[in-house]
């Protein structure tokens, strides 16, 4: 970078008087690298905010991605060849639900029940038991997605894509090169003054969000429902994530896609979450939402081919 500057530090012009170093000469390579990193981060933030402002309302209201979880439910219901996946997922979900519900009933429900019955009488008894079912279901769905999803999600998703006529896309995806993002060295200034603070902020933000959701879910009936819907964008993206993995997108490209199509992910996630909200119905709606996600991706593939 310094070699591009025509006058090096310490040369003389204008009658032999020493000249002042230029801005680029005064900066060290490490500081220049850090400034470039900061500029890149600011441009990334501006780009993603622009995506949300330009696309969110239109995608949420017009693109109609909310229909795919419903279409997935119908498709799943009339496709016996897909039921194999549901048996395993349903059994896993049911076991987790029974275990969570039993622990909740033994250790948490008595505390809530004492307060609710004392404050509201028989109505409080009913409300607490509805809350017990809703929270047990929400925890069971979350644990099923963490523990079981990675095993069956890709197989079911790819099977649906294949049945919908996307053989060429799946075949080509196998030969796409895996692009890895350049990792910033932990000894560089941009890591300690850029990446590390961002990681700390991100981790702190996600921790506070989880605490907020936990507190909100304690509100009888309304709380679990509100948390379910507030998680819609993340849920919608999770059901389409397989598409980005098949395309071998980098983490930055995936994040850009999330913000660019935030409205679509939110609409899909709201309907998918509503179908997963009812206890035990999730036995069917978890795999059917995967089918709906694959149907959505299939339509997107058809648009660009």
Q: What digits encode the pLDDT tens for the residues 123-149? A: 999 999 999 999 999 999 999 999 988
Extended strands (E) in 131-272: none
Residue 11 within any structural domain of the chain: no
Give the integer Cα–Cα distance in Å for 91 and 97: 10
Structure confidence at residue 2 (pLDDT): 42
Question: In the chain, what percentage of residues exceed pLDDT 90?
Answer: 65
* C-beta separation of 136 from 95 below 8 A: no
- CA of 38: how far to CAs of 41, 43, 181, 232, in Å? 5, 9, 17, 31
Range of the domain at 105: 42-175+187-304
Structure confidence at residue 40 (pLDDT): 81
Question: In the chain, what percentage of residues exceed pLDDT 70?
Answer: 88
**pTM score:** 0.85
Residue 7 within any structural domain of the chain: no
- CA of 99: how far to CAs of 139, 155, 173, 181, in Å? 10, 27, 40, 41
Q: Scan for tokens 């990193």, then name that residue.
A: 37
* C-beta separation of 115 from 59 below 8 A: no
If one compares 262 and 34, the residue with the highest pLDDT of the two is: 262
Residue 206 within any structural domain of the chain: yes
First-last CA distance in the chain: 43
Nearest Cα neighbor of 239 from 204, 273, 201, 277 is 273
Nearest Cα neighbor of 78 from 154, 155, 163 is 163
- Res. 199 pLDDT band, cuts 50 70 90: confident
Which two tokens mark 102? 């039993």
* C-beta separation of 274 from 73 below 8 A: no
Residue 14 within any structural domain of the chain: no
- Give the number of other CB atoms < 10 A from CB of residue 229: 15
Q: What digits encode the pLDDT tens for the residues 62-103? A: 999 999 999 999 999 999 989 887 788 889 999 999 999 999
Give the integer Cα–Cα distance in Å for 282 and 89: 10
Residue 27 within any structural domain of the chain: no
Q: What digits encode the pLDDT tens for the residues 159-186? A: 999 999 999 999 999 888 877 777 777 7
Residue 54 within any structural domain of the chain: yes
Q: Scan for tokens 């929270």, then name that residue.
A: 135
Residue 136 within any structural domain of the chain: yes
DSSP string, 212-237: HHHHHTTSTTHHHHHHHHHTHHHHHH
* C-beta separation of 55 from 261 below 8 A: yes
The tally of domains found in the chain comes to: 1
């Amino acid at each position: 970078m310094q070699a591009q500057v025509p006058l090096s530090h310490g040369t003389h012009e204008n009658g032999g008087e020493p000249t002042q170093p230029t801005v680029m000469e005064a900066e060290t390579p490490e500081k220049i690298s850090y400034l470039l990193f900061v500029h890149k981060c600011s441009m990334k933030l501006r780009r993603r905010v622009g995506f949300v402002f330009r696309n969110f309302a239109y995608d949420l209201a017009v693109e109609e991605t909310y229909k795919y979880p419903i279409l997935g439910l119908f498709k799943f219901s009339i496709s016996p060849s897909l039921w194999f996946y549901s048996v395993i997922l349903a059994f896993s979900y049911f076991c987790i639900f029974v275990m969570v519900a039993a622990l909740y009933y033994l250790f948490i429900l008595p505390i809530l029940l004492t307060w609710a019955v004392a404050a509201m009488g028989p109505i409080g008894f009913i409300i607490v038991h509805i809350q017990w079912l809703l929270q047990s279901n929400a925890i069971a769905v979350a644990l099923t997605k963490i523990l079981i999803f990675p095993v069956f999600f890709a197989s079911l998703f790819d099977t649906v894509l294949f049945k919908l006529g996307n053989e060429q896309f799946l075949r080509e995806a196998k030969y796409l090169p895996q692009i890895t993002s350049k990792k910033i060295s932990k000894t560089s200034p941009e890591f300690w003054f850029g990446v590390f603070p961002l990681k700390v902020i991100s981790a702190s933000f996600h921790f506070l969000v989880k605490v907020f959701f936990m507190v909100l879910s304690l509100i009888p009936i309304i709380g679990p429902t509100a948390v379910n819907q507030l998680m819609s964008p993340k849920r919608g993206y999770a059901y389409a994530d397989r598409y980005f993995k098949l395309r071998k997108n980098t983490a930055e490209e995936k994040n850009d896609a999330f913000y660019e199509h935030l409205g679509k992910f939110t609409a899909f996630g709201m309907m998918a979450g509503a179908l997963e909200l009812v206890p035990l119905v999730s036995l069917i709606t978890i795999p059917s939402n995967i089918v709906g996600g694959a149907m959505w991706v299939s339509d997107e593939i058809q648009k660009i081919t």
